[in-house]
Amino acid sequence: MSHKNGKPLVAITGGDPAGIAPEITLKAVAMKSVRDVCIPVVVGSAGLLVSEKAASGVALEVRVIDSLGEVGDKPGTIDVLETGELEPGTYERGRNSAICGKFSGDTIVRAVGLAMAGEVRSVVVAPNSKKALNMGGYHFPGFEEIITHYTGTTDSIQILMGRHYNLARVSNHMPLSQVSAYCTRERVLSRIVVLDKSLKAVGIDAPRIGVSALNPHIGEEGLLGTEEIEHIIPACEDARARGIDAIGPLPADTVFLDMKEGRIDVVLSMYHDHGNACIKLVEFGYLVNFIGGLPVPVFTVSHGTAFDIAGQGKADPTNLEWSILAAAGHRPS
């Protein structure tokens, strides 16, 4: 049962309890924009949400359900599938802990399991701490790797989708010193292929993928690096031979201008901070992180746990709101 009353069921994971996840969850699920298009179900802790109601300023009734068969669609109410162990007073707000990491990891695994079983349409992952997840026994670089492990996926990709700009990356969370060796012809091609497929799945029928160079000035014909000659150019040629519109490599310092001028639909950056620094400058607060290549739709926010403002009622839920809307099949503009 992934739908009820004509609306899709969207599972929202508990996130890290020590951060802003409970606050923004309460704020987002109370929004009319969210309730009009889906039925949100929190996979996490009802007690945690109740404890955050005062700080969030949201007067939702928090209701525990034992199964999705009990889910309701009553305004002013949020249903919670109790998941994970989280005892009051066993963790400190604003600090990493094994307790919070295990809880947040457990909620991710269960929510994705519900989607795999066809019980919810999609999953939205609330902000987690990578350090806490590892402390709690989830020894992965991030939540994406947790999901790929538990779904048996071999090729996924994070796609940041904003109002006007879209971004994907060849490498993700790794030291900069390892990026050059990581961006091989085979790996760049695989990123282009899964990105093309994923964008088509969310309604971009003929994606124009702007592949960024790794080195300054596209390597200056080998003077400033040979990665373009040996790997990135051949990967783009391989992709075009498959019928994919892979444009590039394009200079990394101007590739976003190509998107601004409407020549490409997405930038494929070679490494994390190059692409993220650009897109977050113009789209911060509006980015939806779509995990392409998975057997089920998974979305998340493009910000962290914000430990420094946890529990203060200051957190902006807009990014989570947009992620839930995207998970329900609606992309705001």
pLDDT of the chain, 333 residues: tens digit per residue: 577 778 999 999 999 999 999 999 999 999 999 999 999 999 999 999 999 888 888 888 999 999 999 998 888 899 999 998 887 788 999 999 999 999 999 999 999 999 999 999 999 999 999 999 999 999 998 888 999 999 999 888 999 998 899 999 999 889 999 999 999 999 999 999 999 999 988 778 899 999 999 999 999 999 999 999 999 999 999 999 999 999 999 999 999 999 999 999 999 999 999 999 999 998 887 888 999 999 999 999 988 999 999 989 999 999 999 999 999 988 655
C-alpha distances in Å from residue 233, one per residue of 1, 155, 189, 239: 46, 21, 10, 10
Q: Nearest CA to 150 among 117, 120, 183, 190?
A: 117
Q: Where are the alpha helices (DSSP H) in 95-184?
A: 98-116, 130-135, 143-151, 179-182
Reported pTM: 0.85
Strand ranges (DSSP E) for 225-287? Answer: 245-250, 266-269
Q: Would you state the pLDDT for residue 303? A: 86
Q: Would you state the pLDDT for residue 333? A: 57
Q: Would you state the pLDDT for residue 107? A: 97
**Taking the CB of residue 165, how many other CB atoms lie within 10 A of it?**
22
Q: Would you state the pLDDT for residue 154? A: 86
Cβ pair 51, 23 in contact under 8 A: no
Q: Would you state the pLDDT for residue 4? A: 73
